[in-house]
Each structure stands twice: as structure tokens, then as C-alpha cells.
Amino acid sequence: MTEQTKNSLHQPYHQVLDRIRRAEANCNRAPGSTQLLAVSKTRSADEIGLLADLGQRLFGENYLQEALTKIVLLQDRDLEWHFIGRIQSNKTRQIAENFHWVHSIASLKHATRLSDQRPQHLSPLNICLQVNTSGEKSKDGHNEHELAELLDAYTALPNIQVRGLMTIPAPAEDKSAQHYPFQQLRRLRDRLCNKDVPLNTLSMGMSDDLESAIEEGATLVRIGTAIFGPRQYNQ
Ligand SMILES: *Cc1c(COP(=O)(O)O)cnc(C)c1O
């Protein structure tokens, strides 16, 4: 066995990469047109290091304190950190200082704070605006009407770069039910984008529905369980 195949994450990681390549091929998309964000919430810095050894660079985290610990431990690695969790107003400074991307922007107030708090020596913070495609009350995210009204205000913020849209649909086993919210997000993007605000990123698709998301145009899928196995919250 090579060093790579001895790595316990080698097989699941390559299975996910294969699923992505096959889904791209099935809908005639260019190989590599979908980025993989490895969702590492609840995973140790050592596990993240193992995945980085296999070539993974983009990592997504949901819980700020947990993420900051790992970012410090892994600071010598060239990794890109994406915040994908719920944002609390009193924690925006640490997000602005430590992350490259935030996918879960559902409030202009949060985006304004992040822009104000983004250190000047860093490039603008990349953001995706979260859209509530399934209409669930428990989920954050703008609806289409709000987004159309707020987009100019978001794009005017100086230290933020609006890169696209993100959604977390309700889980659905049935393929056609999986497609619907992803298709809605893509169509919304097509209606809202313009040459100044291309909204190139569609952050959608997780372990159970990445194929459906890629077929609908996802440019980035957020995958945890299929790489790392089931999460254990009681550690
Ligand atoms: C946890 C999480 C994921 C990963 O989900 P899996 O089903 O484990 O792949 C993706 N996106 C967000 C926003 C998450 O919170």
C-alpha cells in the first residue's frame, strides 16, 4: 500500500470525487467545474490534516469556537476556510478575521458588520447569500422578493464580494423532489445576476443529493458524512 492508500480517508474521499466527476459527465459539464467543500464540523484537526494530505484544500465549518481552534492548529497548511453555520451578531468579528468565505449570509446587518470588521490587509470576504428554497420556518435565508430588494445593498458593501447563492433544502429521498429547490436556486440566480454581479457560485448539494445539485448547476457541493462518516455529537 502507498502512503496515500493507507490514509483511512483515501477511499471515501475518492468515492466522493468519483461521484462528482460522474455527475458532471452525466450532464455534459466540464470535469472540475464543481468544487468540493469538505464539511469538517465535529472532526478533529488531525482528520482535517489527513484529508489535506490527500489534496483537499477547501474546508467548511459551522461552529465558530470549534473552527477557530482548528484554524490555529492547521495554520501552516495552505487551506481555505468557509463558514457555513448560523451567524451570531456578536461573533462576526472573528468570522471576518479568520475565514475566506461565508456561505450563510441571511441578514444585511450581519454582512454590514462583516464588511466593517474585515481586516484591511485581507482581500474582501467572499460571501454567498442564503436562500430559503423550501420555505421552512426553522431555516435562515432570504426569499426571492427580499433578495431582489437587498442585492444592491449587499453588493455596495466595500469589504465583501458577493459571489453567489447558497441553499440548504429539506432532505428528500425522491430524485425529482431533490431537484426542485436546486432548480429554483439556479433560476433565481439567472434572474438576479448581471454583468457587475455575476453570482457565479451556486453552493448547493450535500452527501445525499450532490448528483441532483450538480445536474442543476452547483459549482460547489458541501460534503461531510460521505467523506468522514456519520457525525458523533456526544464526543
Ligand atoms: C453539515 C452541513 C453539510 C454537510 O452535510 P452532510 O450531509 O454531512 O454531507 C453541508 N452544508 C451545511 C450548511 C451543513 O451544515
Q: What is the mean pLDDT of the chain?
A: 96
User: In this structure, is residue 80 part of a structural domain?
Assistant: yes
In a domain, 152, yes or no: yes
Q: Is the CB of 222 under 6 A from ligand 1?
A: yes
In a domain, 233, yes or no: no
Residue 4 pLDDT level (bands cut at 50, 70, 90) = confident
Residue 65 has pLDDT above 90, yes or no: yes
Would you say the CB of residue 84 lies under 6 angstroms from ligand 1? yes
171 in a structural domain: yes
208 in Cβ contact with 14 (< 8 Å): no
- The predicted structure's pLDDT at residue 234: 61
Q: Residue 213: CB within 6 Å of ligand 1?
A: no
Assigned domain for 111 exists = yes
Q: Would residue 145 count as lying in a domain?
A: yes
User: What is the pTM (predicted TM-score) of this model?
Assistant: 0.97
Give me ligand 1 centre to Cα 151, in Å: 25
Q: Which atom of ligand 1 is nearest to the CA of 222?
A: 10
Q: What pLDDT digit, counting tens, does each position of 104-126 carry?
A: 999 999 999 999 999 999 999 99
Evaluate: CB of 110 within 6 angstroms of ligand 1. no
Model confidence over 184-195: pLDDT tens digits?
999 999 999 999
Full residue range of the structural domain in which residue 181 is found: 3-228
Q: Is the pLDDT of residue 93 over 70?
A: yes
Mutate to test the pocket of ligand 1, among 59, 222, 231, 233 (most ligand atoms within 8 A of CB): 222
pLDDT at 3 over 90: no
Q: Is residue 234 part of a domain?
A: no
What is the C-alpha separation between 196 and 173, in angstroms, rounded?
37
Residue 235 has pLDDT above 70, yes or no: no
Mutate to test the pocket of ligand 1, among 63, 84, 86, 136 (most ligand atoms within 8 A of CB): 84
102 lines ligand 1 (CB under 6 A): no
Q: Ligand 1, atom 11: nearest CA belongs to which residue?
A: 222
In a domain, 147, yes or no: yes
Write the single-letter amino acid at 60.
G
Return the CATH number at 197.
Answer: 3.20.20.10
List, for residues 137-178, the tens digit of each pLDDT value. Answer: 888 899 999 999 999 999 999 999 999 999 999 988 898 999
Number of independent structural domains in the chain: 1
